[in-house]
Amino acid sequence: MTESLLADLAQQIKIWGRELGFQQVGITDCQLEEEGERLRAWIDAGYHADMDWMGAHGEKRWRPELLEPGTLRVISVRLDYLPPDTQPIKVLKDSSKAYVSRYANGRDYHKLIRKRLANLSKQIDTYCAERGIESKGRAFTDSAPVMEKALAAKAGLGWIGKNTLVLNSTAGSYFFLGEIYTNLPLPIDISEEHDQCGDCVACLRVCPTDAFIDDRTLDARRCISYLTIENKGPIPEEFREPIGNRIYGCDDCQIVCPWNKFAKPTKEKDFHPRHELDNGELLKLFTWSEEEFLRKTEGSAIRRIGHERWLRNLAVAIGNGETTPEVINTLESARANATPLVLEHIDWALERLRSGRRRKRKIKRKPAG
C-alpha cells in the first residue's frame, strides 16, 4: 500500500468519522511505554481502589499489539455529550435535587459509539477490499483494557489536564472517546494540543473529597465518581457529607475548568436528559421501586449500579439535605424493606438530619504520618 494511498485513506477516515457524527478523528501509533509505567506506579500505590480489572491484563493495556495482534495504528474519535440547557451549579446548590453526572443523563454511550465505530470499520474494509488490501480492525469504547485518554492525547484530540481528563482547546472536556485498532500503517497525526493548563489549579481545589494527590494523579478511593458508581459496599462515613446531593458521579472538576467555556451542547438527542435525570427530586427518585428503576434507566449507564446502590446513594444525598417531616417519614418508611447496605445509609441520614448537623462541603486530606 503506497504512502499516497495511505494518506488518502487517512483523510477519508476523518471525513467518514465526521459524517457518522464524531466531532474529531485522529490517528496515532501504539507507543505507550511511558504511560504504561505511570499506570503501573499508580496501581502499585493503591490509587485504583478495588478496581482490580485495571491491572488485570498486564501489558495489553499499554501495548495495543498484544491486545489485538497485528495492530500498527489506533484511530481515536471524540463524541461530545454535554446536554443542552444544563444547569449543573443550580442543581448542586439545591439540596432537594439529585445531581447526576452529565454524561449519564441520556442513553448509555457504549452502544451508540460502538455501532458508529463498526460502521467506520466497514467503510475502511470496503475501501481496502476494492484495492486488494487486507485490513483488520477492532473497535473499543471504554470496554476493554485500552488507555483511551493517552491514545486520544497522542492522536491530537487534546491534552491530559490536571484533573486527569482529556481537555480540548475548542471543546473542553465533555466528550466520550472511542478507538479502532487497525493493522494499516496509516500516517500519524502530530498533536497541536499541547498542555495548556498553565498555573490553573481550579479543578484540584474544588474537589469536595480532596481526591487529587497532585495534578494528574487521582486517588480513586476518595473520588465521588468511584464512591457512587464503582464502589459496591458502604460509602465511608468521612465522604458522605462532602458528597452532598451527587447521586451518580461528579462533574465538579469539569464545571470549574476554564476550557469548558468552549464546550458546545450536543446535538445527539440520545444524550439529552431522560426522566428528569438532570434535575430530579431526591425524594421522588428514592421512592422508585426496583421495577420502576429498571424501566426508567433502561438504556442508561445508571442501570449498571443496580437499585440497591441507587438507594444507597440517594439516602446519603437526602441525609445532606433539609430536615422536614416528609423527609423523615420517607426514610423511616423505607427502613422496613431495606437491605443491610441501604439501611446503614438510611440510618446515617436519619441521625444526621435529626442532629441538625450542617453539611461539610469539602474535606481535606489528612497529612501523612
80 carries an active-site annotation: no
Alpha helices (H) in 49-108, listed in sequence order: 64-67, 88-93
Taking the C-alpha atoms of residue 335 and residue 337, their distance in angstroms, rounded to an integer, is 6
What ranges make up the beta strands (E) of 32-162? 73-80, 99-100, 137-140, 159-160
Q: Are 204 and 187 in contact (CB under 8 A)?
A: no
Torsion of CA 290, 292, 298, 303, to 10 degrees: -30
Give 166's DSSP letter: E
H or E element at residue 326: helix 325-335
Other residues' Cβ atoms within 10 Å of the Cβ of residue 336: 7
Count of all residues that appear for the chain in the document? 369
Taking the C-alpha atoms of residue 10 and residue 26, their distance in angstroms, rounded to an integer, is 9
What ranges make up the beta strands (E) of the chain? 24-28, 73-80, 99-100, 137-140, 159-160, 166-167, 175-182, 212-214, 217-218, 246-248
- At position 83, the amino acid (one-letter code) is P
Catalytic residue among 50, 142, 210, 347, which?
142
Active site residues: 142
